[in-house]
Amino acid sequence: MTQNQEVKWSCDTLLEPFSWRYPKIVRVQPDLFEPEVRNAWRDKVFAAMALCPEHRFWLRTAYPQLYGQYIEQIAHDRLEWLAWRVAVSQVLRELGRQEEATGDGPAWPLANVDVE
């Protein structure tokens, strides 16, 4: 595989990005900001993206305002941020890396996530 190869990620296999050996440009599917998608699922997907800073994630959404609201909540609402941190801890536990669940975490919005 070559570096910066473009791939599609359906998010069904949440840990898939951790298995990629080289940085990827990742097209995230489906639209994470469809109104019926729960924040708990978004938190897990964003946890995986935050823990894979070597990859560039591209989100396509028909609901950019919901993306903006989600980012604002994580960035400025302590309870929402804590809920997201729980998702990070869950992902790390699934990877067997629970000892890494410390620190303040990344700045929001995530530097490796773009929205189209």
Per-residue model confidence as pLDDT tens digits over 46-99? 999 999 999 999 999 999 999 999 999 999 999 999 999 999 999 999 999 988
88 CB burial (10 A radius; 0-12, 13-18, 19+): buried
State the pLDDT at residue 2: 57
State the pLDDT at residue 113: 97
State the pLDDT at residue 4: 73
Average pLDDT along the chain:
92
Per-residue model confidence as pLDDT tens digits over 8-50? 998 889 999 999 999 999 999 999 999 999 999 999 999 999 9
pLDDT-based confidence at 3, cuts 50/70/90? low
HEC states along 44-68?
A: HHHHHHHCCCCCEEEECCCCHHHHH
If you compute the radius of gyration of the chain from its CA atoms, what whole number of angstroms results? 14
d(CA 52, CA 26): 11
What pTM did the predictor assign?
Answer: 0.91
State the pLDDT at residue 12: 87
d(CA 58, CA 56): 7
